[in-house]
Chains A and B, each alone.
Chain A
Amino acid sequence: MKRRTFLTAAGATVATTVAGCSGIAGESEPDDERTLVVGTYSAFIDAPSTSPGAWLKEQFESEFDARLIWQTPENEVNHYIERKNAGVDTETDVYVGLNVDDLVRIDDQLDDGLFAEAGDVEGADSVKSQLSFDPDNRAVPFDTGYVSLVYDGTSMTAPETFEGLLAEDVAGDLIAQNPASSATGRAFLLHTVAAFGPDGYLDYWADLQANDVRVLGSWSDAYSAWSAGEAPMVVSYSTDQVFADRNDANLEKHQIRFLNDQGYANPEGMAVFADANEPELAREFMSFLLRPEVQGEIAVRNVAFPATTDAALPEDYAELAKEPPEPVTFTYDELQGSVSGWIEAWERQFAEN
């Protein structure tokens, strides 16, 4: 991977717009109080169903006497890598929504870190140890999801193992996603690498392809095709019934299958930018996110699972949000230097013309 030396970041930014931050969706800021700028992915603050963004902002601002500004750059964490590469200040304090391959990519691309060590974040010791994914202790997990199969129980019963997906009677029955453009697609591919090993997963995929698996682009491409009945099984999240229940859908049509009794864990982390203007406030925000009641709210509103052991969840949440008997995930060290090769090899086999 190429490495570069960077220009020193410039001081002021003159923008043609009146907005405080040029080029990222955010708001302009007054100067009379402390301001915390938080970068995240857009669904965290602006999903059509529910998202934690508005609630978190309201709670945090009322308690900390500070202003919270959400930023949702289109290419997410890559935006900040780009900024760093261009020698421009990130102008952001903390990022919410990092996963382990983001960290691998950042460390591949940048000599000096984009993020600072988490340091002293109150409540960090209540994070489930198996979710911590950053060996350099920058990212602190705040929630996690599990990628599994979702299937229509009114028309079939999904196989229980990966090998079961190769059976003739489920030919053409599974919709997955492109690992390069979708988190679920990537998790499913990594799950097959975990199940068959780096030397065996390509053979498994060759069989899966022969059995007519559909690999579409984004999660929404796949999920909407599945909803329309194009195929009875789709790679998605194990919290599917939470949404189904909210929309009064038939839960029988939203069954979860953990292949090999496993679900691929996708913990999401948060980290303070190395050049944050408000590093202290950023850490206070991180510990705020780890409080039991906030953890519960994030899980419910983001339709995910909390990262801490003491989160306050509604009584019946576990009925609809399914946790796998055995979570599987690759560590940072296992992914480093391999993940892009695994994906590229898969692409070259799957799309060979």
Chain B
Amino acid sequence: MTTDTANGDIAVRVYPGTYRDSVSLMLLSREVATMDGVADALVGMGTAVNLQSFTEMGAPVPSDVAENDLIVAVQAADPAVREAAFARAEAGDATRPTGATGGGERRARSVRTAARVPGQAPASLALVSVPGPHAAGVALEALNEGLDVMVFSDNVPLKHEIALKRTAERLGRLVMGPDCGTAVLQGACLGFANVTRPGTVGVVAASGTGAQHLMSLLDAAHVGVSHCLGVGGRDLSEEVGASSAVRALDILDADPQTDRIVVISKPPAPAAAERLTAHAATLSKPVHTILLGTQGQDITSAVEEVLHAQGVAVPEWPQWAPGSPGGRSARSGALRGLYCGGTLAEEALLVVEAELGAVSSNLGKRAAESETPHRVVDFGADEFTQGRPHPMIDPMPREEQLRAELLDEDCAVVLLDVVLGHGAHPDPASGVAAVVRDGRALGSTTPVIVSLCGTQDDPQDLTRQAETLQAAGAEVYVSNAAAARRAARLAAGKD
């Protein structure tokens, strides 16, 4: 039972009570919008945020739609194209009804039902990625059911996070997140995570891409990871007080597979840092702490310390220089950093600032754009992900910016990250390489420096991704700090 409305060449179809997750719908939205003859298209649930987008598009959405109703709006001059677009949206599995009445296989509607499959061992973990305001409710249900929880969702209210973590403390469970993008348990990757060799280093991470980079570097040094427990970016805030980090440390300290623990985080609140440090000192295993920006260290040098402590030789960090000339900048000038990974962007910014001075950025309090030609942008920040998937899934916005920078006469060097692993785009290098090739064809000689985060065993294949980028004329480093340093020196005219 659907409702159709129209306004000129914009047609709207509403599928009542047909809930789909936002990531699927955003990808589908783009698929429909890029069909031949379609001027614009939007597929989304009837949430307040989405209704605003439909209004901006000029789509005549009925006033009585609910959050559970799926809305497809298509703008196309040809009515046949509009119908084809609706058909594509439906074929994209967006509108197939699930288990509302009769027949078919039953799908669980609650964590409890899903966790208790007759004849199987009860589930051990819940992975929650529902819209932020609803996430803590689902996570608490999972805790009450006896599960540990990973909350991938962002935009979870702080008071919800506190309630969640107090409950986890009472029940002796771990809450990874909210806003936890990365975890590795027994070699299984949850969220965005790289396939690393099995090993004995346990990781506690309040940073997603920071953890990915750390594990990838260890892997490049032939050192494996036992588990990576994410805790969420806000765990080390004053209000949350390192609740999950402390629990995660205890879990790894008790885990026989782990013999060394590394904590990685952005700068924590002092009280949380104190609690964390004090607790780490009580453990039976050595704990290394990488607090980005507080100790003047970068992730690569911190990993090298871990390797030293482990008695493992520090390898030459892999890098791939372009086969053709272009490794030297024609001129000094502006550095433009275009990042997907928040922590990688943060680290790059610190390295670049040390070399070039003021750099503008959307990361925290930085110099204004008018004060400096240098800029580092985190495309994974909230302002870029409202109504869009993360750039690690949908690289298009960043590729557009790369295209522009390559043709910008002020831009002397572009620095960017390419992140591999489960959850990430299946072939991120190809998109970047195509833009670089286009730029070269148009006469751009601007050096492109890539920080490539990944491992040989990732589904995307590190070497193949690196060679694709190299062949297009980019320089590739597995060390983000090395990439940032190289880019900064090029911008300064020192390389």
Chains A and B come from one and the same complex: no
Q: Which residues of B contact A (CB under 8 A)?
A: none
Q: Which residues of A contact B (CB under 8 A)?
A: none
